[in-house]
Structure 1
């Protein structure tokens, strides 16, 4: 007897909103699509345009070729820089080689880059709150001269800081961090260095904060939260942590086929969200898969409205 013969068990599904694509991801994907339309295939992309396998595979079908370094891009073809931002040396190198490039860096990341330049020009040493080796962190460090910025990941890192001039410090943060963790680290920095200068607004982007708040809201009522996202996606990993702190179990999945119905044995209310680089089509794929096994009652839990859009680079406006 297969699972469709017997009465399906009912599960309440709380779908977090906002979820999925943010404006920066949306813009980055459009830039690749429009570049292929304008220049013809292939268009090279340095680093995964956004951290999502499905999105990358769809763009490959259109004629995008993904490489890790500029050296892998042949002469005479256009190259797109990913949404996470790149060190300054990368566009310089592209210009030296006469490559046509399009910068798909999220405008909110670019804002952090400009703040980094301003603070170092003002003679301050920057304490940067982020995750080592994340492309966004590498890109931001590459905006200033070596030695002008120090990375902190934990409260212990803050305690261990020995700046040359404790009176000439500034801090910035990666845009995809956990709002709560970052708040604790920033408070520790301000306690240790009362004159440290922070950014005027919040560096953590609106989409990251909104998605975390939405997960906090649904986690209260769920035994398990599924987060659709990539294992190398910082904002998706943070959503898993937020769900767990909210008292739910949480699992990161890339696609519906990773779901094991056995996970739901003790679950009467299931939560679902998607990281900022996961398309809505994957959310639908997951709900379809769940409906094969269970009688799903789906409810959208909206905690914020998003209507942010970012302008496309000049010369690429959708024609």
Structure 2
């Protein structure tokens, strides 16, 4: 079993946690199918009391299963993913990629600043790589603008909390520089990892950051922060001190990293082709086909005539 983190799949986690997620997904899918069954019978059809009670029972079972999952340490965004895929009719398997567990920090600390800025770095990388994959798939524009808008709100909320917390706990310049540089480096790491995912897997990761509960949680913590800091005063020195990298700055970093990485891979491929061509002159690399036996691709007549009969030996 691997430690939960980025790149974790449902088959990698503890079996009891995997079973709970699979059940959440199945119950969500069952309830959705029952609702759709009623819709297909006609738009004016009133669902029976028995059907409504059955759907309600399934939803209650799912709610209890979600509570049990969280009690066993299953991250909330894993639970959200299983429920959402069930509702949307997407399959669930041991190969399902799970999002990076969101940290839960209850105190004002340097750890909270680091967690928030690193989460921003991951969100920036996911956004940029997802845009690239959508474009590659021929999808122009944002398929879900409402979710995208909430994603941006969540990024801004996390940045606001990181900046406010850093000021509240009086992080010095060295601590700030270490935290912010770590987040910036994380952008490169996340871009390299996410660019190898399929669009479906990456979209599932992206949607874990589109829930309004992220911004709601940040607002609650900021209210608490303001209540405890009413007597605190800011100085010109505080205003001049370095702030966390903004969402726009992290997004721009992710775009540069993706462009650089793509260019390097393209250049490396061209250099390999050139090296092979130099080693075997006269054989164009674009004409190679190692998956097909040359003899199988020739007409039968050509194969028989490769060594024509010269007639009987004299």
- The structure richer in strand per residue is 1
Q: Same fold (TM over 0.5)?
A: no
TM-score by length of 1: 0.26
TM-score by length of 2: 0.26
Task: Please identify the structure whose Cα radius of gyration is greater.
Answer: 2
- The structure richer in helix per residue is 2
